[in-house]
Amino acid sequence: MTLREARIGQDCRVNAIDLKHDTSRRLEMLGLTKGTIIRLLNAKKGGAVIIRVRGTRFALGREIAEGIEVTVRG
Return residues touching other proteins (CB under 8 A).
22-31, 33-34, 36, 41-46, 48, 50, 53-61, 63-64
Shortest gap between Cβ of 53 and other proteins (angstroms)? Answer: 8
Quick one: CA dihedral 19, 60, 46, 5, positive or negative?
positive
Rank residues 45 and 74 by Cβ distance to other proteins and give the closer one. Answer: 45
Instruction: Give the span between the Cα atoms of 61 and 45, in whole angstroms.
Output: 11
Q: Which is nearer to other proteins, 35 or 74 (CB)?
A: 35
The alpha-helical segments, DSSP class H, found in 3-58 are 21-29
